[in-house]
Amino acid sequence: MPRDGRPAGQAGWVDRESVARRSVTTVAPVPDQGYLYELGRKLGLSDFGARTLQFIVVRPLKIVLIVAAAVVLGRLAARAVRRLLKGAQARAPIKVSSPRAQQRADTIADVLGGMVKATILVIAAFMVLSELGVNLAPLIAGAGIAGIAVGFGAQSLVKDFISGMFILVEDQYGVGDQVELDGASGTVEDVSLRVTRVRAVDGTVWFVPNGEIRKVGNSSMEWSRAVIDVQVATDADVTKAMDGIAAVATEVAEEPAWSGIILEPPEVWGVHAVDATGITLRLVVKTAPKEQAALARLLRARIVDKLRQEGIRGPGQLVPVVAPGPGGTADQPTTPPA
């Protein structure tokens, strides 16, 4: 028997078990402290000294690199936003190369560029705080919850801002333009990223959210056109009436007060409609923006006077009729019944 008093068959088993227990050891993993830490240890620094060296050199360097990268990315993003807006302006369905449109595009580009820069700087600030050992989990969680709540509650507001941005960039309309926005027609008094303010002819002020605008009619874009429809009686001399209308329009176009406003010679398009009430003749005049209404009022007044002088009746007007008297002599003028 072995010296420990155990059977020989068990001695070998006990010896193997003890050997296995002695051979199994738990070794804690050594974290990688970085190149500077290892270099400091090799140079004879203590663990605290090597860690201090790494903290003093590496972390400030990382912070400097983060800030520099944020500044560079912010500038590049601002340039990218400006190019994107210029491309959107060039592809706009209503393209107007005017100083106003360019100024608006530059303003929107500056605003969006600033927002992008601010976003990049906020992200960089979080990265710097992480390098300094600040726990960002509560901050990120809180910001995420707040962002979701604001996103659900401000969907229409975001929609208005995006639509307003494209309205300003594409210069669809501006202050002073005469527009029609989904039933609200009048003169634009103010355009912002969220809402457009329009004053109607009767003085009513309409506030139209930009996100609700589906169709825009602008009668002040680049040039305007005065359209004058003149009705005459069905038995009137159409050629004579057209000549009188053309003469009045040409006379007005030659006046110094209107020569710079009327862009092209007036055109009489002829008979526009015929119905039971009379014949409608159409005159069109191309004018400078927002001048068509005043010109149309002046032309209507002068055309009425001209047609009266020419003896051309309007629809429903009565004129004296000379009926032959007894013996074939003319009697007093009478008027036909209405």
pLDDT of amino acid 89: 63
Rg of the chain over all Cα atoms, to the nearest angstrom: 43
Q: Is 134 found in the same domain as 211?
A: no
pLDDT of amino acid 244: 92
Q: Is 300 found in the same domain as 232?
A: yes
Are 153 and 197 spatial neighbours (Cβ–Cβ below 8 Å)? no
Nearest 5°: phi and psi at 18? -65, -40
- Do the domain assignments include residue 329? no
Alpha carbon distance 256, 259 (integer Å): 5
The three-point CA angle 27-28-31 to 5° equals 135
- Do the domain assignments include residue 338? no
Q: 118, 153, 188 — which closes off a domain?
A: 153
The three-point CA angle 261-264-269 to 5° equals 120
Per the structure, the complete domain to which residue 288 belongs is given by: 224-310
Q: Is 301 found in the same domain as 256?
A: yes
Cβ-based neighbours of 332, under 8 Å, separated by 6 or more: none
- DSSP result, 195-264: EEEEE-TTS-EEEEEGGG---EEETTSS-EEEEEEEEE-TTS-HHHHHHHHHHHHHHHHTSHHHHTTB-S
Q: Is 230 found in the same domain as 213?
A: no
- Do the domain assignments include residue 64? yes
C-alpha atoms less than 13 angstroms from C-alpha of 141 in its C-beta half-sphere: 4
Q: Is 237 found in the same domain as 276?
A: yes
Closest to 289 measured CA to CA, from 171, 159, 197: 171
Are 282 and 228 spatial neighbours (Cβ–Cβ below 8 Å)? yes
Q: Is 245 found in the same domain as 212?
A: no
For 156-162, the CB contacts below 8 A with 24+ separation are 156/209, 156/211, 157/194, 159/211, 160/193, 160/194, 160/195, 160/209, 160/210, 160/211, 160/212, 161/193, 161/194, 161/210, 162/211
- Do the domain assignments include residue 70? yes
- Do the domain assignments include residue 28? no
CATH code of the domain covering residue 195: 2.30.30.60
Q: Is 129 found in the same domain as 53?
A: yes
Other beta carbons less than 10 A from residue 84's beta carbon: 13
Specify which residues 145 forms β-bridges with. none
- Find the largest Cα–Cα distance for the chain: 175
Total tally of structural domains belonging to the chain: 3
pLDDT of amino acid 281: 92
Are 299 and 252 spatial neighbours (Cβ–Cβ below 8 Å)? yes
Q: Which residues of the chain have pLDDT under 50?
A: 1, 9-14, 19-20, 23-30, 94, 96, 320-323, 325-338
pLDDT tens per residue across span 57-109:
777 888 888 888 888 888 888 888 878 777 766 665 545 455 566 666 666 77
pLDDT of amino acid 11: 46
According to DSSP, the β-strands at 178-181 and 184-191 are antiparallel
Q: Is 175 found in the same domain as 80?
A: no
- Do the domain assignments include residue 333? no
Alpha carbon distance 264, 142 (integer Å): 64
pTM assigned to the model: 0.53
Alpha carbon distance 203, 67 (integer Å): 54
The three-point CA angle 79-80-85 to 5° equals 100
Q: Is 145 found in the same domain as 58?
A: yes
Q: Is 55 found in the same domain as 106?
A: yes
Are 147 and 158 spatial neighbours (Cβ–Cβ below 8 Å)? no
Q: Is 197 found in the same domain as 279?
A: no
- Specify the amino acid at residue 309: Q
Q: Report the Cα–Cα distance between both ends of the chain, in Å, rounded.
A: 150
Q: Is 144 found in the same domain as 64?
A: yes
